[in-house]
Amino acid sequence: MPDFLMNLFTNYYETAAMILFGIGFTTLLTHRNLIKKIIGFNFMDAAIYLFLAAKGYIAGRLAPIIVDGNTDPSNYVNPIPTGLVLTGIVVSVSVTAFMLALTCRLYDRFHTLDIDEITHLVRKERD
Amino acid sequence: MRNKRFFSRLSDFVEYGSFREEEYTLSPSHKANIDTDTPENRWLTSVQHSERSAPVRLMDWLKLRGFEVFNNLYRIASVIICITLIAVLLSVVVFLPPFGSDDNPAVNEVVERYVSKTVEETGATNSVAGMISAYRGFDTLGEAHVLFVAACSVIVLLRVDPSERRRGRLVDPGMTGEDLDFEPNSDLILRKAAKLLVPLSFILGLYVILNGTTSPGGGFSGGALMGAGLILCSVAFGFGRTQRFFGDGMYHLVKTVCLASYALMMAYFIFMGANGFDDHVWLGVPGSIISGGLILPINIAVGLEVACTMYCFYALFRKGGL
Amino acid sequence: MTLFEGILLAFLIACAISVSVTRNLLASIIIFMSFSLIMSVLWLTLEAPDLAITEAAVGAGVTSLLFFATLKKIHAIKAEDAKSEEDESDEE
Amino acid sequence: MELVQNFPFLCIVFSLTCGVLCAVLKGRAAKILCLTWLTLTTAMSLAVLIFTLKSDSFYIYRMGKWNAPWGNEIRVGVLEALMATAFSGVMLLSLLGGMHHIFADCEPEKTNLYFTMCALLMSSLFALIYTNDLFTAYVFVEINTIASCALVMLKSSAKTLVATTRYLIMSLLGSGLFLLGIVILYGITGELLMESIAEKVRALFSTGEYSLPLTVIIGLFSVGLAVKSALFPFHSWLPDAHGSATASSSAILSGLVLKGYIIVLIKIFYRVFGLEVIMAKEISQFLFLFGVLAMICGSVGALRERDLKRMLAYSSVAQVGYIYVGIGLHSRLGLIAACVQILAHAVTKPMLFIAAGGFMDVSGGHKSMSAITGAGRRDPLGGIAFTVGALSMIGIPFFAGFVTKLELTQAALGSGNIAMVTALAAIAVSTLLNALYYVPAIFNIFSKNGQSDYKGLRVRYRADYALSCVAFVLLNIGFGAFSEYVVGAVRRGLELFGM
């Protein structure tokens, strides 16, 4: 097996995260259905968090909760990614709620979830 | 409108970033009508007789098949974007340090300090809690306000004025019943299960919040659990039940007090720390509930804020107000 | 690489792809829910229990509830049913 | 540590609290609280600016008990303080100028939330200006995104809803790429603090390690922030969002929000990667190219537009192009031009939007070019403000816009052959195009036609609108007249930046 494929295999979490990011990004960018877009956004963010958490994982170590006063750093995994992802998850859920609320209002108004059609309708109203 | 085909679609797309399908689809009657001089027939005959020049034929063909071509191109383009993006990102992964090894660049003196000094410096045995609420407390303050700003935006979008809501119900209880009125609460299984689960999720949420300094969890996860309990309560027993102890005023009170006290605590902490004063915060006994100095009150404030924000989201989506 | 993690990761990707191709909105939301649950298991395997709790409560819990509330609000469930019935009858 | 050094942190944290309090107050009370607080922050930022100018250095303010790599910190220098002062002042004036529109356009019981959003937006702008930590930047970028979307949609109509949705989607794509960039950078350096990353990146660059990931990271940051700041190929959301929002929102979004992201990009380029790495990677050459295209295409778009606010929005696309051209020149002079343009555009474009709001008042609420014919005669103060803004945008001497063009020309003359020719040609063409759509607009608003419909219309100036117009005009002329001080401060600020 070539070297670079080997690397992709070693970094399997990162590989999966990047594939997931690609799919999520594309769904958010090109899918026409608003709900699908929002789900795609959630996938995209989850992929980034997965990547970040994978960067903090160290094989054979435990979660960074100090037990029995054992503060030797070589016993625990990296706590920074966990903290950052925690922040990120809350950001994701906030944005998701906001976008879902927008979707509700748009559906109320236009009776469709297709963003292209909505854009078209509103453009027609203007003309 | 019919002859507005491929290029107009393309220009629409480039200019406005979107287009609409119906306008461009061929109607069945148009397809069936073979004898007339439609672009389709012209195209077919011109292919058969080769009497027209290639560009003209191409234009005709595009006029005819514009919608399908564009739709397919759009789909193909999105797949291409996806694959290109993934390829670029995977090429990065190839060069990254191996997963799970203990000598990757992320393991440095910052991590060592966070793990080895958390108990001593912040009083929390959960070093993640110590990190997000004390070491990098400023980020977390921002994060709590992201949730707040999202809640405000949802209120702007979905909140219906209470007086209007009441009026609407008086006029036609059946019509507004779907969204604006209370949930139907006839499901026996749901109610029985909720009787067990609602207290459980409250207790679990409280436990997670209070033990945020010593075990996994903290304000955000515990608050989300309590919020889920509130939502379940309203789903099973109707909004009337939850409204009795958690209305509009209560929500604003909890949210404001929590966020303002959080900001004040952080401001005190940052001000004292930055100016090199002693902040006189008792760190407590590491490992017990009362530990972590300011982390515990911060967790409680954040937890309550998250719980009521989550419930507020749900209530706004269901009936446009608390 | 353990087989377990490999399967979970593959499932994540399968979820992501199936959401963008499936036509039924309800199905895609349920897929999203299962995605969140798998994520929370993955957080555990990555030694991040804080994230596992948060993801289970926020991702699989509240976010999915919001999706369902939206779907209910826009009556898409009903519309989807009517549409799929039509599709089936068309196929027959 | 002196008391004045605490001001930036107070500005950030208590702007958040001000937002929270505004959410529970009634509209009028929220307005008073927000305006008072903004006045205070302007004064505090000014004090900080004077302090940094006097001490002629920057200082690091740690956010908590712990020093840099462990805790958060903010960095306050001349440039940061200057930007903070300008932004907070412009925010105050924009709010004042469009105040009656805010109360007219928002639903009555939701007006207080407008001020909430403004306070939170101001807090995030302060944080983006001062921050020294990439992840803090991300968190506040998100606050910025949501708050600015909310500012668009608070004027509730179908058009703003659609514009908000498209704005939000593009912003989310941008933040996704930005976050991924931060995360990969964290993966290869293990740091989040700008200085520490810069050290590590320099070491990696000299050994040639991680060459490809570094390139991709720069690409991710560039594209992510370019989408959010509406650089040319990604600008499609901007005219809708800025054109349909209420006057103050348009002013704030065009003048400040776009700039916040660009400041982050400048910080990332020159504080995290450094000029050397950026030059070697060549990816930012694209920024220069797109900046030039934006200057031309934005102006062409504005030329085609028949709606005043959308025309101004397209003009913002062109003006953002100027900033990116300055960044893309990769020289100290170019960067000075970019920073001056950020400031100049921040004091000019809000004035134009506020004046456009005033014209709408005296033209029955319409904003198409034909409807506002002669509006400058009915609302002379707005007319003067618009004229000053338009002349400044064209680049007439003694106004703010001229300073930018001068600096940018100097920067272009000092750069390589092709870049010089392209940049100079772009400036020339863009100036011409600007004149082509701003001069007819000025003639249009002062035209004698169209007065008959509005006979007997006596415009009674509101104090806030008049104050805002006068202040903006003075600010603009002052900027042009005392440009050497502004440019000097920017230059000194960039020197402290390590440039």
**Whole-complex ipTM:** 0.92
Size of interface A-B (CB pairs under 8 A): 185
Four-residue CA torsion sign, B132, B135, B137, B140: negative
pLDDT digits (tens, 9 = 90+) for B117-151: 888 888 888 888 888 888 888 899 999 999 999 99
User: Hey, which residues does D62 pair with through a beta bridge?
Assistant: D73
- pLDDT the model gives residue C21: 85
Under a CB-based contact definition with an 8 Å cutoff, are residues D270 and D332 in contact? no
C-contacting residues of A 80-109, CB under 8 Å? Answer: 81-82, 85-86, 89-90, 92-93, 96-97, 100, 103-104, 107-108
Angle in degrees, 0-180, between the axes of helices B248-275 and B137-158, rounded to the nearest 10: 160
Q: Which of B139, B156, B266 lies at the smallest CB-CB distance from D154? A: B156
Q: Enumerate the domain spans of chain D.
A: 284-499
Q: Considering all CA atoms of chain C, what is the largest pairwise distance in Å, rounded to the nearest integer?
A: 52
CA-to-CA distance for B310 and B227, rounded, in angstroms?
Answer: 5
CA-to-CA distance for B114 and B120, rounded, in angstroms?
Answer: 10
Contacts of B281 in chain D (CB under 8 A): none
CA-to-CA distance for C59 and D419, rounded, in angstroms?
Answer: 49
Is residue D234 less than 8 Å (CB to CB) from chain B? Answer: no
Neighbours of chain B (3+ CB pairs under 8 A): A, C, D
User: Which pair of tokens denotes residue B121?
Assistant: 């410096």
Listing DSSP states for D210-225 in one string gives THHHHHHHHHHHHHHH
CA-to-CA distance for B119 and B123, rounded, in angstroms?
Answer: 4
CA-to-CA distance for D408 and D429, rounded, in angstroms?
Answer: 14
Is residue B271 less than 8 Å (CB to CB) from chain D? Answer: yes
Give yes or no for residue B284 having a pLDDT over 80: no
Q: Which of D135, D146, D176 lies at the smallest CB-CB distance from A94? A: D146
Contacts of B134 in chain D (CB under 8 A): 64-65
Among C8, C13, C73, most A C-beta atoms within 10 A, so best to mutate, is C13
Q: Which of A73, A83, A105 lies at the smallest CB-CB distance from B136? A: A83
SS3 (DSSP) at B202: helix
Give yes or no for residue B113 having a pLDDT over 90: no
Give yes or no for residue B275 having a pLDDT over 90: no
- pLDDT the model gives residue A23: 92
- pLDDT average, residue stretch B162-174: 48
- Chain C CA closest to residue A93: C63
Which has the closest alpha carbon to D387: D430, D343, D347, D352? Answer: D352
Q: Could you tell me which residues come within 8 angstroms of residue D50 by beta carbon, excluding any fewer than 6 positions away?
A: none
- Chain A CA closest to residue B75: A30
Task: Categorize the per-residue pLDDT at B168 as very low, low, confident or very high, splitting at 50, 70 and 90.
Answer: very low
The whole domain housing A88 covers 3-126
Q: Enumerate the domain spans of chain C.
A: 25-91
Give yes or no for residue C92 having a pLDDT over 50: no
Give yes or no for residue C77 having a pLDDT over 50: no
Name residue, tokens 């089936």. Answer: C88
> Into how many domains does chain A fold?
1
Listing DSSP states for C54-86 in one string gives HIIIIIIIIIHHHHHHHHHHTTHHHHHHHHHHH
In a 13 Å sphere around the CA of D171, the CA atoms on its Cβ side amount to: 24
- pLDDT the model gives residue B263: 92
Is residue A43 less than 8 Å (CB to CB) from chain D? Answer: no
The H-or-E segment that residue D379 falls in is: none
Give yes or no for residue B23 having a pLDDT over 90: no
From the CB of residue D413, how many other CB atoms can be counted at a distance below 10 Å?
Answer: 11
Interchain contact, D166 vs A44, CB within 8 Å: no
Using CA atoms, how far residue D215 sits from C36, D210, D220, D281, D282, in Å, is 32, 9, 9, 6, 9
DSSP A76: B
Tell me the backbone φ, ψ of residue A20, rounded to 5 degrees.
-60, -40
Interchain contact, D161 vs A106, CB within 8 Å: yes
Q: What is chain D's pLDDT, residue by residue, as a tens digit (499 residues)?
A: 788 888 999 999 999 999 999 999 888 899 999 999 999 999 999 999 999 998 888 888 888 888 878 888 888 989 999 999 999 999 999 999 888 888 888 888 888 999 999 999 999 999 999 998 999 999 999 999 999 999 998 888 888 899 899 999 999 999 999 999 999 999 888 888 888 888 888 888 888 888 888 889 999 999 999 999 888 888 888 888 888 888 899 999 998 999 999 999 999 988 888 888 888 877 768 888 899 999 999 999 888 888 888 899 999 999 999 999 988 888 888 889 999 999 999 999 999 999 998 888 888 777 788 888 888 888 888 889 999 999 998 888 888 888 888 888 888 888 777 888 888 888 899 999 999 889 988 888 888 876 666 666 666 778 888 899 999 999 999 988 888 888 988 888 888 877 6
Under a CB-based contact definition with an 8 Å cutoff, are residues A78 and B107 in contact? yes
User: Which pair of tokens denotes residue D452?
Assistant: 């008959």
- pLDDT the model gives residue B27: 44
- pLDDT the model gives residue B293: 80
Q: Could you tell me which residues come within 8 angstroms of residue D149 by beta carbon, excluding any fewer than 6 positions away?
A: A98, B153, D164, D167, D168, D171
- pLDDT the model gives residue B169: 43
pLDDT digits (tens, 9 = 90+) for B195-228: 898 999 999 999 999 988 888 888 888 999 999 9
Interchain contact, D70 vs B135, CB within 8 Å: yes
In a 13 Å sphere around the CA of B131, the CA atoms on its Cβ side amount to: 27
CA-to-CA distance for B85 and B291, rounded, in angstroms?
Answer: 46
B-contacting residues of A 37-56, CB under 8 Å? Answer: 54-56
- The amino acid present at D277, given as its one-letter code, is V
- Chain A CA closest to residue C29: A39
Interchain contact, D165 vs A21, CB within 8 Å: no
- pLDDT average, residue stretch A64-80: 81
Burial of B39 (0-12, 13-18, 19+ CB in 10 A): buried
- pLDDT the model gives residue D499: 64
CA-to-CA distance for D159 and D58, rounded, in angstroms?
Answer: 45
- pLDDT the model gives residue B134: 85
Under a CB-based contact definition with an 8 Å cutoff, are residues B181 and D174 in contact? no
Size of interface B-D (CB pairs under 8 A): 173
Using CA atoms, how far residue B321 sits from B151, B161, B249, D22, D108, in Å, is 12, 8, 11, 19, 16
- Chain A CA closest to residue D184: A52
Four-residue CA torsion sign, B227, B232, B235, B238: negative
Q: Which of A79, A81, A87 lies at the smallest CB-CB distance from B115? A: A79
Give yes or no for residue A38 having a pLDDT over 90: yes
CA-to-CA distance for D144 and D149, rounded, in angstroms?
Answer: 8
Interchain contact, D20 vs B259, CB within 8 Å: yes
Give yes or no for residue A1 having a pLDDT over 70: no
Q: How much of chain C exceeds pLDDT 90, in percent? A: 34
The chain-wide mean pLDDT, for chain B, equals 77
Contacts of C78 in chain A (CB under 8 A): none
- pLDDT the model gives residue B48: 57
Size of interface B-C (CB pairs under 8 A): 50
User: Which pair of tokens denotes residue D176?
Assistant: 């996704």
Task: Categorize the per-residue pLDDT at C84 as very low, low, confident or very high, splitting at 50, 70 and 90.
Answer: low
Q: Which of C53, C62, C70 lies at the smallest CB-CB distance from B310? A: C62
Interchain contact, C58 vs B231, CB within 8 Å: no
- pLDDT the model gives residue B31: 45
pTM of the model: 0.90
Listing DSSP states for B9-37 in one string gives HHHHHHHHS---SGGGSPPHHHHH--SS-
- pLDDT average, residue stretch B238-247: 77
Is residue D10 less than 8 Å (CB to CB) from chain B? Answer: yes
Burial of B23 (0-12, 13-18, 19+ CB in 10 A): middle
Give yes or no for residue A4 having a pLDDT over 90: no
